[in-house]
Chain A
Amino acid sequence: MGTLIIALTYVAYVVIVAVYMVKVVGWLRRPPHIRWDLYPVIHEDHYRYGGSYYEQQEWWTKPRSKNRLRSILFSLKDNFYMGEYYKRNPLYWLFLLPWHLGFIFIIAFHILCFFAAVTMVGGLEISAASASSVGKLLYYILLTTGGFAFITGTFGSIGMIFIRLFDRSLRIYSMPMNYFNYIFFLIVYVSGLFAWLLLDPTLVEYRAYWLGLITLSPPVLHPMTVLHIILFDIFLIYLPFTRSTHYITRILAYFFIRWDDEPNQRGSKMEGQLNNLLGQKVSWEGPHIAAGKTWVEVATVPGFSETKKDSK
């Protein structure tokens, strides 16, 4: 069993990292699009009221400052706060935020477990009674992170089922997959919560599991802990096939769509990319679009001479 969970864990981490990477790279590799910015644009000087560089006369002659750090902090903030939900639907927020925090903290917990295990290989004892203050600190961080993840995840998953069922505006657009996800994630969190509270209150088994992972020595664990680990590994494999990539793509959408205010300049790299796109043949069949022409060819003829029929 120990060997199985070690193998499964490695597979799970390879799958989640690989699928997320494929999705994110796929997102980034799409061609440039028409500017579709939406204000406030957070890197702008006047972001507080939503102002842009277009408020200046002859904006193209002025320097354009971009505060990237502010943009990054702003976009990350909502992974932990979700202010629009609090403002517009506080009850939904009450469940949605813990549900998301559950994800973030359970992943963070496992990453911390990895680092803890590395220090354990180096001889550090991680426990409340550790002679090392680092060992003590890591012990309490692991306990807090893991416990917080199990509690918020459990609460959030139950709440999400409840709110999706009882809020009509959510129910009408909900799909069986939503409920499957909530129930599956609830089982993952509850199994962790149960193992932690009743069987392994110091999380010593988790540390043993992670030590076994990096030393490739299968640990002996309580069946409940094993069950939770298997469920968590399946969770990791399943996660990238859901819409969970939005943790990352929402930030990409902010930077590359909503806040993309980069003007096209003559002779720029972007202009070259645009010229390639404008040179591709289109196949739209509307009466005002001539067949077999490139994008730019269609755009540089009036179109009405090709009108074949009434537009209605």
Chain B
Amino acid sequence: MKKLANIEDFSREGVQLVQIDPAELLPLPPPYDKMEKPPIRQLTDEQRKRMDASLDGVVAIGLTPPATPEDEKAFIEKFLAGLEKLFTVENNWTFLQPLIHTLDYCVKCQICSDACPTFLASGEQEIYRPTMRPEILRRIISKYIKKENFILRKFKASDIDLNWQTLARLAELAYRCTLCRRCAQVCLLGCDNALISREIRKIFSQQMGIAPKEIHEKGSVQQLKVGSSTGMTPAALKNVIEFIEEEIEEKTGRKIKIPVDKKGADMLLIHNAGEFLAWPENLEAFAILLDAAGVDWTLSTEIAGYDSVNYGVWYDDFQFARVAILQSQAAKKLGVRKISLGECGHAHKAGIVIADRVLTGDLNIPRESILPLLEEIVFSGRIKLDPSRNNFPVTLHDPCNMVRLMGIVEPQRKILRKICPQFREMVPHGVENYCCGGGSGFAITQSTNFPDWRSAVSGRMKMKQILDAFQEVPGPEIQKYVCAPCSNCKGQFRDMFEYYGVWKKSGILYGGLVELIVNAMVDLKKPFIQWEWH
């Protein structure tokens, strides 16, 4: 494997810094130890001319090289202006404290490297080490912002050449971290190197207008424009809801009217709109369960009020705040008492925790996770459940945002322990879980060969964990279920399982939590879960 020899190489022009070697990736158990295809597709010559891939041959952003030296100079100056703003209260009060703390106090002891699934799964590629991005940023700050003299820079080993190539690589490198914050969790000094990835993304977005298309243009911008990052308009939403009602009737014989824009409802439930299009069974299960439990709830058709996603949380404070404000305004308009977030990890963290210090006054409407309500329904006895209906091997994936970053650990486990006789934990799990590999926008980023990278590298540790959890029933003859109460994680599992051929080779399906609850409902004639790959 071609590895980065020293940090100064980061600025070398005209070369690809590293090449991912399949032989050095984290080994997977059979039959996944021998892949027929190269793990990451090579870019074509035309793509390489158009998009910078000089970091690792992979493209998430794919910046186009500047046409002239003047363009390069302007690019660098704009970046440096943004970097200065990162350290001002008015521009970056949001993360100033943790940012400065990390840059000032990380001693580069590297224990966080051992906690990073991407670094480990890559065969310990130096560029993916959690301390690499902060180190590059720290050197740029030393030389170009603080303008420390040559002797001091030598003493602190903080020299770096800043050219377009350095910044293009840094921009890409910020999108090789899933922001799972496992590195921060083990740091005894309270530093957070994952946050540095986010702050680098912030400079590129808020100062330079640079972000992966799927996250910005097709993501948060689209959500603000039409109502959802999926592109689904309020009118289309109503059609989808009708379709879901028909599906429920077809599957269960029940006629359920899904409440939409119900004024004065107790609870506004906001789902990740990806569920409406990719996994409608999740919404069907919610509708069946909440109807049976007699919950007073509603969906909204307001802009952003029917899509809980908030991609800004990964790269841009303003895009984040805009979406959070619209979601709260939707709830305010309906006059609900509270907002509840469906099965989506980053929407949980964004909507419940992070939005907390942006929403003030009457926009600060109480917000909570749906999981404690599900727990209450399951344990209250309001609905008769038969665990034998879920008598197949089940494991639980912990979405980082919901678990490590929010502390919602037990409700989902209590439910699974009660209704799934063959439930087993992954190792490690709970707040020490590994990211699915699709965190921080990766699951939706479809640029060129990036999906290969996230299946082969960032998701590899999770892939191994899932296979290990089912190691005594490895073949496809026994159907197994990975419960992932998060739309982004499900998106990653869909792509990653497809990439490795998991359904055919191992018979592992993925799905949400509420589907398992409804599958165990005694008064449903047929099983709710349909064992079909989709």
Residues on A lying within 8 angstroms of B by beta carbon are 27, 30-41, 44, 46, 49-60, 78, 82, 84-85, 88-89, 92, 96, 169-170, 172-177, 180, 243, 245-246, 249-254, 256-258, 263-266, 270-271, 274-275, 277-278, 280-289, 295, 298-304, 307-312
Whether a CB of chain A sits under 8 angstroms from the CB of B67 is no
* Contacting residues, chain B, for A274 (C-beta < 8 A): 357-358, 360
Closest to B114 in A: A88
By a CB distance below 8 angstroms, the chain B residues around A54 are 352, 368-369, 372, 406-408
Q: Does B417 interact with chain A (Cβ within 8 Å)?
A: no
B388 within 8 A of A: no
Q: How far in angstroms is the closest Cβ of chain A from B312?
A: 10
Pair B61/A176 contact, Cβ less than 8 Å: no
**A289-B318, A304-B224, A312-B210 in contact; A40/B93 too (CB < 8 A)?**
no
Q: A54 CA to B403 CA in the complex, in Å?
A: 10
Residues in B neighbouring A252, C-beta threshold 8 A: 190
Question: In the bound complex, what is the Cα–Cα distance between A89 and B156 (angstroms)?
Answer: 24
Contact of A246 (CB < 8 Å), options: B91, B107, B111, B221: B107
For B91, give its contact among A59, A92, A284 (CB under 8 Å): A284
- Once bound together, how far apart are the Cα atoms of A75 and B209, in whole Å? 40
Measured CB to CB, the nearest residue on chain A to B124 is A169
Complex CA gap A55/B475 in Å reads: 36
Give the chain A neighbours of B85 by CB distance below 8 A.
283-284
A103 to chain B, nearest CB (A): 13
- Inter-chain contacts of B352 with A (CB < 8 A): 54
A82 in complex: contacting residue of B185, B188, B213, CB < 8 Å: B188
A174 to B467, CA, bound (A): 38
Residue of B nearest to A247 (CB): B189
Which A-B residue pairs are the 7 nearest by beta carbons? A52-B407, A253-B190, A50-B431, A175-B157, A299-B321, A280-B90, A173-B108
Interface CB pairs A-B, < 8 A, 16: A33-B94, A35-B353, A35-B354, A36-B95, A50-B403, A51-B410, A88-B186, A174-B157, A175-B158, A176-B155, A253-B98, A257-B190, A258-B190, A282-B91, A299-B318, A299-B322
Q: Which of B29-37, B200-208, B389-397, B511-519 contacts A (4 or more CB under 8 A)?
A: B200-208
Chain B residues whose CB sits within 8 angstroms of the CB of A59 once the complex forms: 368
Interface string of B356-371 (1 = CB under 8 A from A): 1111111010101101
B46 at the interface (CB under 8 A from A): no
Measured in the bound complex, the distance between the Cα atoms of B195 and A56 in whole Å is 28
Find out whether the CB atom of B209 lies under 8 angstroms from the CB atom of A309: yes
**A177 CA to B362 CA in the complex, in Å?**
52
- Chain A residues with CB under 8 Å of B373's CB are 57
Contact indicator A285/B81 (Cβ below 8 Å): yes
Interface pair B407/A39, CB less than 8 Å apart: yes
**Cβ of B353 and Cβ of A253 under 8 Å apart?**
no
Which residues of chain B in 109-144 are interfacial with respect to chain A, using CB atoms and an 8 Å cutoff? 109-111, 113-115, 126, 129, 131, 135
Supposing A34-B94, A38-B181, A257-B98 touch, asked if A84 and B213 sit within 8 A by C-beta, the answer is no
* B108–A288 touching, CB < 8 Å: no
Kindly list chain A residues whose C-beta atoms are within 8 Å of the C-beta of B498: none
> Is B522 an interface residue when CB atoms closer than 8 A count as contact?
no
CB distance from B534 to the nearest CB of A (A): 31
CA distance A33 to B217 in the complex (A): 27
Contacts A174-B157, A285-B78, A311-B209: A243 and B89 contacting too (C-beta < 8 A)? no
